[in-house]
Amino acid sequence: MNSNLQSQSKYTKRDILTSPFNENSCKILLLGSGELGREVIIQAQRLGMATVAVDRYENAPAQQVAHKSHTIDMLDGDAVRHVVELEKPSAIVCEIEAINLDMLMQLEKEGWPVRPNAEAVWITMNRERSRDMIAKKAGVQTSKYTYVDTEDSAAFKDAVEKIGYPCISKAIMSSSGHGSYFIKTHKDIEPARLIALKDARGSGTRAIIEEYIDFDTEVTELAVRHLDENGKIVTSFPRPIGHYQIDGDYHASWQSPNVAEYLPWKPQDIGAKFKPDEDLAKKAEKKIYEAAEKITGALGGLGVFGVELFVKVEDGKVRVLGNECSPRPHDTGMVTFMSHMIGMNEGALHLRAICGLPVPARINEDGYRVIDPIMPASSHVIKAASGGWDPEFSGIWNAGNMQGVNVYLFGKPNVPYEPDSPNEVHRRLGIVLATGRDALDAKKKAETSAHKIDMRTRQFEEWVSQDNTLDARKKHILKS
Ligand SMILES: Nc1ncnc2c1ncn2[C@@H]1O[C@H](COP(=O)(O)OP(=O)(O)O)[C@@H](O)[C@H]1O
Ligand SMILES: [Mg+2]
């Protein structure tokens, strides 16, 4: 490998940039090319960098905007090595979990610049390693938990009873709610075990059983580990992002320069039952930064991390518990595409951090480096309502002809589905971003707009509207 690349494997500040087709270009190689990676690429192009996007299917969102793309099976180590040696990137950005980790570690050992680092990707892709890292290495409080073999039904029952009801079971390697089950009574034990067995993503037969936390709100803290002007790694903190999930998958998120608008309250109480409490919000915020700093410090490396935390108020005191952490931008963080200054959204912050570019921040009264949003904003998902190829969207005028609203479509070419249940699909096809007077106003606008968009596919030609399940209605502001 040439010495230029060797030196890039170390964490150094970058003060020189070029045009993309120059032999000294800073070249970004994305492994995984979804909607989060798309923003990293767009920002890289704003800086004149060279961009290459890799995914397992053709025309993935970030591939559509990158200079160059490759379509390979990223679990195939030889294929990953081939692309890395061919492209000679200045930064290898891991956007997904399904990458051949042995090869990633090997490439890093050889001096290739894996970001944030191969071990962080290895730890966070597995719930057992991730939970041990949070609770033991970082020393951040979590829900009670235990691990169990899902093939052993007696042991599974014992594990559930040890944690107590209600609790949640999750396959050790899974995401977006797949493989997870809410266990309310003993009747749920067997269905939970079978779901964990069925939906495990290459994790064999292990599951985690976790105490259910009746939190007031959950937040994502997008902690950024980056170099400061002295070349030292520091952590900067965008203000906490509030969000809610439906069936374990992100549905809406919000952020405001005034976090007391939503922190630390239940999403459904925002703007209704409580009076903002500046003092309590400040205490919550400090505990959020504290926990996020410990967790990201345990993972190391450079980049944005999505630290998922539960916030609970008990007897006027705030508790913050660690849930999990992604070593990359986070889906709930897409609200920063609107709330943050251009060039400072989560994709841009990730790019700045991994490339050794400046990440300016304000030092707050507690000594934390804080990145402020410039306006209150909210995001709401546009989810597939049926499976099939070539999705089409209608209602773009109805949804988008509203001040402060931005409809984003990801350009995904296909919604995979099972032939006997074409409406049981789980794919995010876009988001609506909205700004407003405050987080609640923005939230109303994003939700109203997203639900005005219908979709259809080549296989299912009838226009269908967004998710309208009971659970969805309960969590939305508009109930019908
Ligand atoms: N122990 C828990 N107590 C309460 N809610 C939980 C717990 N674990 C998960 N959840 C809910 O389920 C969502 C998804 O769980 P998570 O562990 O983040 O898995 P995933 O990897 O699928 O995002 C969380 O964001 C939260 O809303
Ligand atoms: Mg999660």
pTM of the model: 0.96
* pLDDT tens-digit series, residues 222-258: 999 999 999 999 999 999 999 999 988 899 999 999 9
Handedness of CA 29, 110, 124, 242 (dihedral sign): negative
pLDDT at 200 over 80: no
Which atom of ligand 1 is found nearest the CA of 177? Answer: 22
Least confident of 45-49, 366-370, 417-421: 417-421
**Ligand in nearest proximity to the CA of 172:** 1
Beta strand pairing call for 369-371 and 362-363: antiparallel
Q: State what percent of residues in the chain have pLDDT above 70.
A: 96
**Residue 352 is among the residues annotated as catalytic for this protein:** no
pLDDT band at residue 421 using 50, 70 and 90 as cut-offs: confident
Closest ligand (CA of 215): 1
Active site residue 331: yes
Mean pLDDT of 35-44: 98
Mean pLDDT in residue range 399-428: 93
pLDDT for res 198: 85
Q: Which domains does the chain have, with CATH numbers?
A: 3-115 (3.40.50.20), 144-211 (3.30.1490.20), 217-375 (3.30.470.20), 378-475 (3.30.470.20)
Tell whether the model's pLDDT for residue 80 goes beyond 90: yes
Specify whether the CB–CB gap between 53 and 67 falls below 8 A.
no
Annotated catalytic residue within 331, 441, 447, 467: 331
> For residue 3, what pLDDT is reported?
39
**The pLDDT of residue 284:** 98
pLDDT at 396 over 60: yes
**Pocket around ligand 1 at a 6 A CB cut-off:** 143, 168, 175-177, 210, 212-213, 218, 245, 248, 308, 323-324
pLDDT at 348 over 70: yes
Q: Using 50, 70 and 90 to split pLDDT, how confident is the model at 162?
A: very high
Q: In this structure, which residues have their CB less than 5 angstroms from ion ligand 2?
A: 308
Q: Tell me if residue 190 falls in helix, strand or coil.
A: helix
pLDDT at 2 over 70: no
Task: Please tell me which residue in 33, 90, 130, 175 is annotated as part of the active site.
Answer: 175
Give me the pLDDT at residue 131, please. Answer: 98
Least confident residue range of 192-206, 253-267, 279-293, 378-392:
192-206
pLDDT for 467 equals 67
pLDDT reported for residue 4: 41
295 alpha carbon – ligand 2 mean position (Å) = 15
Active site residue 462: no
Selection from 34, 30, 95 nearest residue 327 by Cα: 95
User: What is the rounded CA–CA span in Å between residue 225 and residue 77?
Assistant: 28
Q: Would the pLDDT of 192 be above 80?
A: yes
pLDDT of residue 268: 87
Closest ligand 1 atom number to CA of residue 323: 17
Q: How far apart are CA 448 and CA 252, in angstroms?
A: 12
Residue 474 is predicted with a pLDDT of: 72
Instruction: Provide the percentage of residues in the chain whose pLDDT is more than 90.
Output: 85
- Region 329-337: what's the mean pLDDT? 98
Of the listed 428, 430, 435, 467, which one is catalytic? 428
Q: Does residue 300 carry a catalytic annotation?
A: no
pLDDT above 90 (res 18): yes
Residues 6+ apart with CB under 8 A from 196: 150, 169, 170, 171, 179, 180, 181, 207
- Mean pLDDT computed over 32-44: 98
Q: Which of 48, 77, 111, 177 is catalytic?
A: 177
Question: What is the average per-residue pLDDT within 291-298?
Answer: 98
Ligand 2 centroid, distance to 1 Cα (angstroms): 38
Nearest to residue 61, comparing CAs of 44, 87, 40? 40
Confidence of residue 39 (pLDDT cuts 50, 70, 90): very high
pLDDT of residue 310: 98
pLDDT of res. 436: 97
pLDDT number for residue 429: 97
Residue 206, H or E segment: strand 206-211
Q: Answer with the residue of higher pLDDT: 275 or 105.
A: 105
Q: How far is the CA of 328 from the centre of ligand 1 (A)?
A: 18
Asked if 219 and 194 count as a contact pair (C-beta separation under 8 A), the reply is no
Mean pLDDT of 58-76: 98
pLDDT digits (tens, 9 = 90+) for 427-470: 999 999 999 999 999 999 999 999 999 999 999 999 998 766 66
Q: Which of 308, 346, 438, 441 is catalytic?
A: 308
Cα 447 to middle of ligand 2, angstroms? 21
Q: What is the arithmetic mean of pLDDT over 135-159?
A: 97
Q: Which pLDDT does position 303 carry in this prediction?
A: 98
Please say if 324 is a catalytic residue.
yes
Q: Which helix (H) or strand (E) holds 273?
A: none
Contacts with 146 (C-beta within 8 Å, 6 or more apart), sequence order: 159, 162, 163, 208, 209
Pocket test for ligand 1, best of 130, 215, 323 (most atoms within 8 A of CB): 323
On whether the CB atoms of residues 303 and 327 are closer than 8 A, the answer is yes
- Predicted pLDDT of residue 6: 39
Average pLDDT over residues 388-412: 97
Which residue has the least CA distance to atom 1 on ligand 1?
212
Among protein residues, the one whose CA lies closest to atom 2 of ligand 1 = 212
Q: In whole angstroms, what is the distance from residue 116 CA to residue 98 CA?
A: 16
185 catalytic residue (yes or no): no
Instruction: Determine the average pLDDT of the residues in 17-44.
Output: 97
Give the three-state DSSP class for 197: helix
Ligand sitting nearest the alpha carbon of 323: 1
DSSP element (H, E) containing 363: strand 362-363
